[in-house]
Amino acid sequence: MNQRWRLLALWLLPIGMTAVLAWQLLGSSQLSPDTSNATSIAPKNTAVSRMSYGRFLDYVQDGRVTSVDIFDGGRNAVVEAIDPDLDNRVQRIRVDLPGLAPELINTLKEEGISFDIHPAKTAPPALGILGNLLFPIILITGLILLARRSSSMPGGPGQAMQFGKTKARFAMEAETGVKFDDVAGVTEAKQDLQEVVTFLKQPERFTSVGAQIPKGVLLVGPPGTGKTLLAKAIAGEADVPFFSLSGSEFVEMFVGVGASRVRDLFKRAKENSPCLIFIDEIDAVGRQRGAGIGGGNDEREQTLNQLLTEMDGFEGNSGIIIIAATNRPDVLDSALMRPGRFDRQVSVDPPDIKGRLSILKVHSRNKKLEASLSLENIARRTPGFTGADLANLLNEAAILTARRRKESIGLNEIDDAVDRIIAGMEGQPLTDGRSKRLIAYHEVGHALIGTLVKDHDPVQKVTLIPRGQAKGLTWFSPDDEQMLISRGQLKARIMGALGGRAAEDVVFGRAEVTTGAGGDIQQVASMARQMVTKFGMSDLGPMSLEGDSQEVFLGRDLMTRSDMSDAIAKQIDEKVREMVKLCYEETLLIVKNQREAMDKLVEILVDKETIDGDEFRNILSEFTLIPDKERITPILNT
């Protein structure tokens, strides 16, 4: 009810202020009496008309004016005059005067005309005082209501003294709903973090042998691997006070606010020790100091300095464990990464096949799967998927199942969900005959090289159904866990990427090749240059000739000079061109020799729009011998 009255008062405030202002203006101005009421002075049978000032002066000189009543400070007058046009009857006439001039008064006196000056009516003094006081009272009342309303809102003016306080969410007993059993696929990381929980619950097990509780744990890994989920699991398992916030919540535009929030955070943490502090995306505040053209951000650097001091300064913070997460450890300040602040750096990498299987088991608990659907097969089909990707995969498959009005998720829904996640939404099938055949030859060229080159990954599927920006796709099935890639495999991948352009060149001629191979050529250039400069797989020898191709970090990398001479750079370019040229010539030769098989495959593909890997190999085996390859089922798009 109080809130309603406040809102009503705020709504009525501008209306009341406008009304009071108008009242003041009317009350302070001189209110002339209504000259139309002067008709009561004249005889009832006379009428009031208007007369110009010049004619009025003529009437005065002719002696026709008998009396004059002046109103409104000399701006208006009511004149009684004898009108000859009305049988010399007395006529009451209104006159607009230029002002109360002394000459007019003297003229009236000389002519012996009776005149009276009526003073202007004013508002009563009490009403004027009330009008003058009412506006400030309403204004002050409105400001008080606004201040009270703002003080009840987070971050309002009423909380100006809270500006330097921490924004961390605090829970005496965190109820995140996540336990270690709900986190799968990161066994090593779970083991390290379970020890942290044991430190908090049973410290005597470690202190009895001289072990000290770690001050900080840094979770490092790509996005979607489960770093924040692990922090939630720690909060749910530890049964100690838990603070959680993001690194960006420290940084403000005002210098010193971030440092103040760090001090307040650790002050509250010490009052609730032992406790846990989780800082997500710590790279927002922990970036290297002094980085940036012209110096660093003073506010962020002061915040980082305060954080370093609180984590391992003169006072120390016994009983406080800090858990931080980032996917950019390369930009963190070295003082933040050292032991004593972050004693442990836990890598949270994308899961292997066993990890993916355990993650799928967790996320499939509340989903209806067909009896014939094997989670192990799904795990084999999704190399490189993170935990977030797998959760999204099952969710997309469930959505497709509901859209198709099926009761349980099947293999078709899984396949379509994988295609959707990797390549994008399915588009409308092509209808143009020439464009469709051109794309068919392009995709069959990829699949043909991928099948006939021994070191290439086997073909999983060839389709003309557009997805995302691609008008056609060829899917390959790499080995499950390719930690190491041989020179032959890299060369085979270059040839496979060039297969589409080679097919266009052979079938339509050099003048008719299209821009469809643009993305393939970019991949070819990248792989060939890495073979020469990074992996030492050329005649230049086993030398690393270029640094890591990471994003430029201003202040550290922008002005870094290359140690490579111009002569070496020229040789690198020549070796890359030579390698790509040889691979393209081999690809062209294979495509020319298999022209008949390619025509047959294109006819089938144009008709069916999709050919799976087994059917493709069966058709191709009718024309040539296919090299033996180790077959597995994971799907990946090239």
Q: Cite the active site residues.
A: 443
* Closest to 507 in 3D by CA, of 571, 588, 575, 436: 588
Tell me which amino acid residue 368 is.
K
Alpha-carbon distance of 279 to 264, in angstroms, equals: 15
Torsion of CA 512, 517, 522, 527, to 10 degrees: -110
Residues in the chain: 638
Alpha-carbon distance of 24 to 134, in angstroms, equals: 10
Q: Which residues are paired to 426 by β-bridges?
A: 467
Alpha-carbon distance of 56 to 195, in angstroms, equals: 110
Instruction: For 103-198, list the strands marked E by DSSP.
Output: 114-117, 169-171
Q: Helix crossing, 613-621 with 433-452: angle to 10°?
A: 80
* Closest to 627 in 3D by CA, of 446, 455, 486: 455
For 527-534, the CB contacts below 8 A with 24+ separation are 527/490, 527/493, 527/494, 527/497, 528/494, 528/576, 528/579, 528/580, 528/583, 529/572, 529/576, 531/487, 531/490, 531/579, 532/572, 532/575, 532/576, 532/579, 533/572
With tokens 């001091």, the residue in question is 309
Cα–Cα distances in Å, from 181 out to 69, 152, 190, 231, 374? 102, 41, 10, 13, 22
Supply φ then ψ for residue 351, to 5 degrees.
-75, 155
